[in-house]
Amino acid sequence: MCGTVTRADEGRRVILAGWVNHRRDHGGLTFLDLRDHTGLVQLVFNPTHSGEAQRVAERARLEWVLRVEGTVGRRPPGNENPNLPTGEIEVTVESCEVLAQADAMPMGVADDALAEERVRLQYRYLDLRRPRMQRNLRARHRFVKTLRDVGDELGFTEIETPTMIPSTPEGARDFIVPSRLWPGHVWALPQSPQLYKQLSMVGGVDRYLQIARCWRDEDLRADRQFEFTQLDLEMSFVDEDEIFEVLETMISRAWESAFGMTLATPWPRLPYADAMRRYGSDKPDTRFGHELTDVTAIFEHCQFRVFAGAIAAGGVVEALRVPGGGELTRGELEGEWLQVARTYGAQGLAYLWRRGGDYEGSITKFLSVSELAQLTAALGVVDGDCICFTAGTQRVAATALGAVRMHAARRFGWIPEGQFDFLWVTEFPLFEKDPDDGRIKAVHHPFTQPHPDDWPLVRTAPERVRSRAYDIVCNGVELGSGSLRITRPEQQAAIFEALGLTLAEAETKFGFLLTAFRYGPPPHGGFAAGIDRIVMLGLGENSIREVIAFPKTQTGADPMTGSPTPVAPEQLAEVGLRLAPKAGSSAPGPT
């Protein structure tokens, strides 16, 4: 292979095939760099050795595919290239065959010739030739292969579950597939194999594993695609400790084999409530401190109406000390910093500077000497700091200031590079109130066990019930989640009741699972980890599109294939469908 030729091969005859990465034509003597996924090697075409091969080399252009036969030799002294692994040697070509020509490239293939993402996706097959993408694809392969290997060692059985399953209204929007044999009926692509893996537990599988493709018809993001891949696990007769240990083993070993870095295990556990309180996030970036402080008690009776009003309404005031923030201008704080807080629902962002041993800033005049002294003590304020505040409900104030914390971290370089802080966020709330209709909904899914201590609250104060659901978080990215499941009918009934589901409704939605649970379900729990995101993180990429061979754009299209495409009426008729006219193309209505 091109990149694996070494000094040890000196004198050997080799046959190499690859792409022309670069050409340097001296009008007689010609050099071509030949590339395959292993790297580059310099080919020398000397008219005195082989005039025929040299004439081919003169014609060859970037990205032509060549097969050459030649002899490996040391480069003449002084002509070594220390920037290349194969820089000490070269291949003197005796014969050269053009396997394929290439038109002028629509984009460069070198890593430092990065084109606009639209162009990269349109010519994804060229983009994939880039060394970086080759590295990413192969690292992903190693990662997944090791997950399977370790899973096998740990007694897991890989089970394939269907990709055409019943559609359920819960959770994300389904991609639906019309049924030809059952006109008017549809299948859905799974958002996850959740129910099937639980059924496999009932089926005695004991330890289920799947590298599962999942689909969700929601808006795309840097870390979200329509279809993504998860490491899906389910285990019988286990509790959190065993599940955590399995995942720590599988992911740390796969991480090491794919990225060559070791991960310390076990990972710390952080209850959800603490994560929200300390970091203002359920997926905290714990690579740096600068935690939030609840200063509600200090400002309970203060003259600043925004604080006092929020507290009187049952809310809180959160504070963040920004060392060095004294240099922040009013324009910055009231511009982009405020915008960050507002994006996450805060009404505003209050701030103070500590300069020359005193507080400055527009809210200073509303705060008493005593209040400011307490603030100084509580946060350890020193000269040159800026203190940012949000006020409101605990959730909004903390979340917004948590976002400000991340903004500050990037602004002031708090984030240590090359560090990976994995942790478990545990004891997620079981329920949450839907702000739109005020109804109680399951945070994870309705089969999640409540925390054993909180069973009495299921009836009385459902929003305070903690669950046995947990997430893996690393560097502020949510990498996966899981839970222990409910298998006892009477417990399940209590949860459905809290969710406002009648037994009849539950039967309609999940009847097959409830039926299965009448025939001796083993206690079980599991986890699903987002492979795209983990590989993205391990490779230092900022988007999962960099670790997916053929991703979609943010608008959910594929520029390479020009899809999605319109569909012929006959094809629709066959599956019993009629499409609504496109909103823009319908007749204009009354204005």
Shortest spacing between CB 436 and RNA, in angstroms: 7
Spatial distance between the Cα atoms of 470 and 270, rounded to a whole number of angstroms: 10
CB nearer to RNA: give 345 or 348. 345
Shortest spacing between CB 557 and RNA, in angstroms: 4
CB nearer to RNA: give 151 or 551. 551
Q: Positive or negative CA dihedral for 399, 289, 388, 413?
A: negative
Using an 8 Å Cβ cutoff, are 521 and 487 in contact? Answer: yes
Shortest spacing between CB 1 and RNA, in angstroms: 18
Shortest spacing between CB 294 and RNA, in angstroms: 21
- DSSP per-residue codes, 424-449: EEE--BSEEE-TTT--EEESS-TTBP
Spatial distance between the Cα atoms of 338 and 412, rounded to a whole number of angstroms: 17
Shortest spacing between CB 80 and RNA, in angstroms: 6
CB nearer to RNA: give 69 or 80. 80
563, two tokens: 């899809």
CB nearer to RNA: give 176 or 443. 443
Shortest spacing between CB 536 and RNA, in angstroms: 11
Shortest spacing between CB 542 and RNA, in angstroms: 7
Closest CA to 348 of 396, 298, 293: 396
- φ and ψ at 363, to 5 degrees? -90, -5
- φ and ψ at 337, to 5 degrees? -65, -45
- φ and ψ at 124, to 5 degrees? -60, -35
CB nearer to RNA: give 29 or 378. 29
Shortest spacing between CB 275 and RNA, in angstroms: 15
320-353 in b/e form (b: 16+ CB < 10 A) is bbbbebbebeeeebeeebbebbeebebeebbbbb
Closest CA to 84 of 41, 130, 55, 44: 41
Shortest spacing between CB 486 and RNA, in angstroms: 13
Strand duo 422-426 + 269-271: pairing:
parallel
Cβ neighbours, 10 Å, residue 481: 20
CB nearer to RNA: give 339 or 502. 339
- Identify residue 188 by its one-letter amino acid code: A
CB nearer to RNA: give 182 or 550. 550
CB nearer to RNA: give 179 or 543. 543
Q: Where are the beta strands (DSSP E) in 276-385?
A: 293-294, 316-322, 350-355, 358-360
Shortest spacing between CB 297 and RNA, in angstroms: 28
Helix (H, G, I), strand (E, B) or coil at 346: coil
Half-sphere exposure of 351 (CA within 13 A, CB side): 26
Using an 8 Å Cβ cutoff, are 483 and 234 in contact? Answer: no
Shortest spacing between CB 450 and RNA, in angstroms: 14
CB nearer to RNA: give 146 or 191. 191
Shortest spacing between CB 173 and RNA, in angstroms: 7
Q: What share of the chain is helix, strand, coil (3-state, %, to 5)?
A: 35, 25, 40
Closest CA to 480 of 57, 73, 192: 192
CB nearer to RNA: give 46 or 265. 46
Shortest spacing between CB 343 and RNA, in angstroms: 5
Spatial distance between the Cα atoms of 490 and 492, rounded to a whole number of angstroms: 5
CB nearer to RNA: give 141 or 221. 221
CB nearer to RNA: give 104 or 369. 104
Q: Positive or negative CA dihedral for 283, 286, 287, 290?
A: positive
CB nearer to RNA: give 83 or 565. 83
User: Which uninterrupted H or E stretch holds 89?
Assistant: strand 89-100
Strand duo 440-442 + 431-433: pairing:
antiparallel
